[in-house]
Amino acid sequence: MSQKTMTGYNEDGVEISYEQIAPETLRNMIQEFVTRDGADWDTVGGTLEEKVEQVIRQLRAKKVRIVVDLTSESANLVPVVQ
């Protein structure tokens, strides 16, 4: 299923609110995301914890969203384009 949101950004899957995810699971998900191969986080600098906190702030500010691909059972953080 392809989902097109009001943001205009396409991503296959289902959007999940970060508030619906257990805090420890959310933190683990974000840690995996910022350490993923090919991520641009190396240029950002800072510790792993600082990067995780930055993503949490972006989620709270609705600058990124979580999309889960039910086929691959994987999650991705997707920017919200305004």
Q: What is the CATH number of the domain that holds 7?
A: 1.10.10.610
Most confident of 3-12, 21-30, 68-77: 21-30
pTM of the model as a whole = 0.74
Residue 69, C-beta contacts closer than 8 angstroms, at least 6 positions apart: 12, 13, 75, 76
**Domain region containing 22:** 2-79
pLDDT in tens, 31-74: 998 888 666 655 667 888 998 999 999 999 999 999 998 888 88
- In the chain, the number of structural domains is 1
* pLDDT at 44 (0 to 100): 63
In DSSP notation, 33-80 reads: HHTSTT-GGGGT-S-HHHHHHHHHHHHHTTSEEEEEETTTTEEEEEEP
